Chain A
Amino acid sequence: MNAINLASNSKSRSWRVIDFVIAAMLAVVLGVGMWAYDTFAYAPVGVLFSAVPWLAGLQFGVWTLPAIAGAMIVRRPGAALLAELIAASVEVSLGNTWGATSLYSALLQGAAVELILLVVLYRNFNLLVAALAGIAAALAEVLVYESWAYWAGTSTEFLLSYLAACMVSGAVIAGVGGWLLVRALRAAGVLGAFAK
């Protein structure tokens, strides 16, 4: 005979089933959103910014949103990385610009968000932390990957301008946007099992 313990354990640091499932489902839907962005918006926006190409960095946050939203909901180590990797694999399997290499970007961005959350010991999930996480993801993506893969021939001024655009976008679209998205989802009543 087992006594069923109905006490809530949402404060525990270990992962519950709902944590895995919500992170994964959120990521699949946002992955579809990222794919739609790549397919319908990426080229027109590129043309729009063709005179000042580094402004294209202002789109960066779109691709880091799953990491930050996932972390803000689940609030456990690894949530950002899991959500970002799943979202990227959906984006890739539906067909996006960069194909399989998007998964390395996802790994870098997810890890950067985890790093910021580690600094605050996974205790703070406010707007500032979200924005900083977005900026960290931009730094990781541009410095660790894009600087040598895409922009090896450009001047330092160009690279820094591009980096700044990515950081702004990471903070605003991914950070503030992710934070607002989670707030709206909470208002819609679908995050009942998660801490406020």
Chain B
Amino acid sequence: MLLQNRAIVEAKSLGWLTGSDANAPAQLLRDLNFSIAPGERVLLTGPSGSGKSTLLRALAGVLQQTETGVFSGELYVRGRAGLLLQDPANTFVAARLGGEIAFGPENLALAEPEIRSRVEACLDRVALPYGVHRATNELSGGESQRMALAGVLAMNPDLLLLDEPTSMLDELSAAKVLNAINEVLDSRPETAAIIVDHSAEPWSKLATRVLVLSAEGRLAADLPMASFLSDASAKAVHLATAFDLGYRTGKPVGTVRALVGPSGAGKTTELQKILKKLGVAEVGWVPQQAEFTVAGNTVWQSATATAKNLNLETSLASRLLTQLGLQNQLQQNPYRLSGGELRRLALVSALAHHPSHLMLDEPTVGQDAETWQAVAGVILAAKRAGVDVTLATHDAELIALADEVIEVVPAATRSAVPPRTGRVAPLAALLISMGLLGGSFAIGSVETGAIALGVEAALALMCWRILPQQKAKRFVPILIALASIWLSNALFAADGVNLQALERALVVTLRVAFFALPSVVLAGALRPAELAAALVRWCRVPARPAVAAAAALVRLEFIQWQWAAVREARRLRGFNEGHGPVARTKEFMASLFALLVQSLRSAGELAVAMQARGFAEPTAKRRTWVKF
């Protein structure tokens, strides 16, 4: 046993090497030796790409989930590790708060009363003021992160691994998350914690020890927090880097406007209102999700796409790429850049067609000091070049650069009336429509067909209140299809066009109408996540695929939002100019592909979070299912 002094973590010459193909930058850990005692709180820091997250995932035992690589040395972890990831939007699995927190204990196949008591206790611990039935997609970013923390705590971890848990949040929400983490750890003195963060300041009270990784993935320092803080060079210095955009608009100097206000106040909506009024040539747009602006397969193609769409020179792109330190990665695939590099590429992509307006949405959220300096530098350079800059931000240091600060006040929310979903259970809807499909065989003449449809219509009217509401336009495609089925069956009958054939075609069409029209109505009752749950409970469908399906399906709303954001970003890069069906189809497919890439990227994070909560344990195959 390698274990010294009851250490909870022990790494001996730990190494990890990835990137077999030349295209992918190797993510490395080299020759790491350290051990962590129970109850110890450690900050793990280092430059972007130094392998902090990689090490954390190795400790959680989930590294091989999203990466293939070669492992060397030894790594021991005693007890259970719980992993909290950066962006809670990527990691939730359930539609309701209770189900989300219960996910881990369910995978451990604990008894239902035990799970319910853990859920209540963890909700309380992270100070979420909602009941277990609260919809997970109604929570704010900070609340979601506290929900995710509760989900990790429900596993009762001996080692808490936190991967930049506050970097995606505004100051107020971050403070609340920090508070929750502090209280949790105060109440569990034996639980060790490793926190990954760019900045030490928020963790200066909590963590007593700092591990610093070098850019090459080696352990550069292992020292007490006090000595780390007194070392001035370790502190992040927020100073804008000096840039020159290389072009000028007609204006002598631009205006920097900052839209500020609490999360959810509608800052992004305000930005989008301005964007709608501006043409592609006038504006450069950097959304919060910088990856939405990626176009093409290389950094160079992406940087120059807008300029090429507008038939402009690409020399400015080349200059900007050099200034922002991307000149050596021109042939790199943009999706393989680090988060900071991707943000800098998005800045280049937004400016390479020399627009007169630059619009930025939360440009510094989740970014390290180096990228912060690049963002601030570009804002100041844009101002000097006569470019008007509008940015939505929570970042006090960035707001300090603005000439005008505009407070966005949350609009009074009109509560939209949700469409009636009806009270037909998903499985019942499926069975009814299957029954109708089989029953349609009984229709042998126009008379029986007409009677059957009449009975259906009468039943529908009688059950009107429990049926899901469907918009009239939902019936347009099926009516067109029915017409085409009648035509095909009438015109292409075996014995040519005659009266008998017309009648037979009508019978076939009535049959299809008999099972298809109710199926369109009942589709509204097939809420996919509930259907997956019902299939597991009643039809003994294997639990894990159904749970994974449900986790992907709760993202449907988010995916629809992403779809709109991708379309907007591509329009503002000049990709939407085509009008003919061929051009529109091409653009549709390019957008769908971009959306697919985004979703599969976040799927990697989701898989890591699910595995860290016991989804790969042998118990998950006979997991408990608690209804919330």
| A residues in contact (CB < 8 Å) with B | 1-4, 6-10, 15-18, 20-30, 32-33, 36, 38-39, 42-43, 46, 50, 53-54, 56, 78, 82, 85-86, 89-90, 92-93, 95-101, 103-104, 149-158, 181, 184-185, 187-193
Contacts and interface: CB of A to CB of B under 8 A. Distances in A.
Contact of B526 (A20, A27, A93): A93
B333 interface: yes
B129 to A, nearest CB: 31
Given A17-B611, A153-B490, A153-B507, 14 more contacts: A1-B10, A4-B59, A7-B71, A8-B68, A17-B616, A21-B610, A24-B545, A24-B603, A25-B552, A25-B602, A28-B599, A92-B523, A153-B501, A193-B604
B17 to A, nearest CB: 11
A187 B301 CA distance: 15
Contacts of A190: 335, 597, 600-601, 604
Contacts of A23: 548
Interface of A is mostly: helix
Nearest to A23: B548
A47 to B, nearest CB: 8
B182 to A, nearest CB: 28
A123 B123 CA distance: 47
Contact of A20 (B516, B545, B563): B545
B543 to A, nearest CB: 11
B476 interface: yes
A31 to B, nearest CB: 8
B520 interface: yes
B615 interface: yes
A82 B549 contact: yes
B556 A28 contact: yes
Interface of B: 1, 3, 10, 16, 23-24, 58-59, 61, 63-69, 71, 74-78, 297, 333, 335-336, 429-430, 433-434, 437, 440, 470-471, 474, 476-478, 480-481, 484-485, 487-494, 501, 504-505, 507-508, 511-512, 515-516, 518-524, 526-528, 531, 544-545, 547-549, 551-553, 555-556, 559-560, 563, 588, 592-593, 595-597, 599-604, 606-607, 610-611, 615-616
Contacts of B63: 6
Contacts of A99: 433, 478, 516, 518-523
Given A39-B477, A100-B526, A155-B493, A185 B597 contact: yes
A187 B519 contact: no
B300 to A, nearest CB: 15
Contacts of A95: 470-471, 474, 520, 523-524
B500 to A, nearest CB: 10
Given A24-B551, A25-B552, A50 B493 contact: no
B68 A29 contact: no
A50 B487 contact: yes
Nearest to A196: B21
A100 B593 contact: no
Nearest to B10: A1
Nearest to A69: B596
B508 A152 contact: yes
Contacts of B526: 89, 92-93, 100, 103
A64 to B, nearest CB: 16
B603 A22 contact: yes
B563 A188 contact: no
Given A4-B77, A54-B488, A153-B501, A187 B521 contact: no
29 contacts: A3-B74, A16-B607, A16-B616, A17-B548, A17-B607, A17-B615, A18-B603, A18-B604, A20-B545, A20-B547, A21-B548, A26-B599, A28-B553, A28-B559, A53-B491, A89-B553, A95-B470, A100-B522, A101-B519, A151-B485, A153-B489, A153-B504, A154-B493, A155-B492, A158-B488, A184-B593, A192-B24, A193-B65, A193-B604
B87 to A, nearest CB: 15
Interface of B is mostly: helix
Given A32-B560, A82-B545, A184-B593, A151 B555 contact: no
Contacts of B603: 18, 21-22, 24-26
B477 A26 contact: no
A8 B601 CA distance: 19
A1 B615 CA distance: 21
A86 B74 contact: no
A149 B437 contact: yes
Contact of A21 (B440, B528, B552): B552
Nearest to A194: B68
Given A23-B548, A24-B551, A93-B528, A29 B24 contact: no
Contacts of B65: 16-18, 193
Contacts of B440: 149
A53 to B, nearest CB: 4
Contacts of A25: 552, 555, 599-600, 602-603, 606
B597 A188 contact: yes
Contacts of B595: 29, 32
B69 A8 contact: yes
Nearest to A73: B600
A140 B477 CA distance: 23
B492 A158 contact: yes
A1 B3 contact: yes
Nearest to A152: B508
A189 B75 contact: no
Nearest to A99: B519
Nearest to A193: B66
A43 B433 contact: no
Contacts of A54: 488, 492
Contact of A192 (B67, B75, B549, B599): B67
Contacts of A20: 544-545, 547-548, 607
Contact of A154 (B489, B524, B531, B596): B489
Contacts of A100: 429-430, 433, 519, 522-523, 526
A3 B16 contact: no
B508 A150 contact: yes
Contact of B494 (A4, A6, A93, A154): A154
A151 B486 CA distance: 9
B476 to A, nearest CB: 7
B520 A28 contact: no
Contacts of B504: 152-153
B242 to A, nearest CB: 33
Contact of B16 (A1, A6, A16, A28): A6
Contacts of A56: 484
Ranked 3 nearest A-B pairs via Cβ? A99-B519, A20-B548, A6-B71
A28 B556 CA distance: 7
A36 B481 CA distance: 16
A151 B488 contact: yes
A151 B77 CA distance: 63
Contact of B528 (A4, A89, A181, A191): A89
